[in-house]
Structure 1
């Protein structure tokens, strides 16, 4: 038996509240100001502040993606948008939150200077940053630190795998694939 899907009513482009609207001076039925429409526009996903939040998130994730050590060492890397329209980034193992905050402070830059300011002293487990006016909360669960990760035996490192200047006894992955 097919199930009919209900569709939400479309919101008008001018941001007016959907419903019965009289053509009074302020556009509401009883002449009072509609606070819900103002609140919705203020926190709408299409607002300029939301666009800045997503741009800041994109810059942070791009900076983290350039660090192979960070991406390879973290398990369960996750992120979500908080109720205050800030971002929360959380990972298991990997570097300390203060190390990631320092890394982001160095990598997220504009042409005229850094876009990151640290809010307070970061610890091993958590750090708070302000990136382009957007709050980022970094949280490391059971962190090991970058020094311990580099010294850890058997830890696969992308930089070592791509270093073709150093000859090793083992065959490279592309030699295995090409039969060389």
Structure 2
């Protein structure tokens, strides 16, 4: 007769199949933060290499290149209705935000700030491209993209 052995847990104490309430809250907070960021097209469009990963201590790490300062993103998230949170620390390169009891570590690599992003002449915004009410003598962005 053979014995059945239970699967061993990883040595770091985390369980990849953890469906506890704490794990659910962690993912809910992450969803709220990402939904809040998705409503800010200017942020998403100005960033390169937007990445995120779960931290070992029930936290989330979000990192991007270019785009706004980490303090600007933390302030934006702290007052957004979906992801209302509390800014713990913030500077231009990194910020720590707490949303629904979950810690978010934000990191901006080579940030430019929102004012610099808006003033860049070669920055193409989706909102401007889709604005058909704006009449100018210059070609619209979609005309340049489509060659019209």
Question: If the length of structure 1 is used for normalisation, what is the TM-score?
Answer: 0.68
**1:127 Cα deviation from its structure 2 partner:** 0.3
Map of 1:10-29 to 2, 5 A cutoff?
18=6
Please state whether the residue corresponding to 2:29 is helix, strand or coil. Answer: helix
Please state whether the residue corresponding to 1:99 is helix, strand or coil. Answer: helix
Matched, 1:166 2:134: yes
In structure 2, the gaps of 5 or more residues are none
**1:157 Cα deviation from its structure 2 partner:** 0.9
Cα shift readout 1:74-124 (whole Å, capped 9, x = no counterpart): 111100000101000000111000000011012144xxxx7301113x100
Map of 1:47-58 to 2, 5 A cutoff?
47-58=20-31
State the alpha-carbon separation in 2 of the partners of residues 103 and 40 from structure 1.
32
Deviating beyond 4 angstroms after TM superposition, the runs of 4 or more aligned structure 1 residues are none
Please state whether the residue corresponding to 1:107 is helix, strand or coil. Answer: coil
- Aligned residue pairs total 139
Q: Which residue in the other structure is 2:117 paired with?
A: 149
State the alpha-carbon separation in 2 of the partners of residues 128 and 84 from structure 1.
14
Map of 1:94-173 to 2, 5 A cutoff?
94-109=67-82, 115-120=84-89, 122-169=90-137, 170-171=139-140, 173=142
Question: If the length of structure 2 is used for normalisation, what is the TM-score?
Answer: 0.82
> Is 1:108–1:116's contact at 8 Å kept on the other side of the alignment?
no
Q: What's the C-alpha RMSD, in Å, of the aligned pairs?
A: 2.7
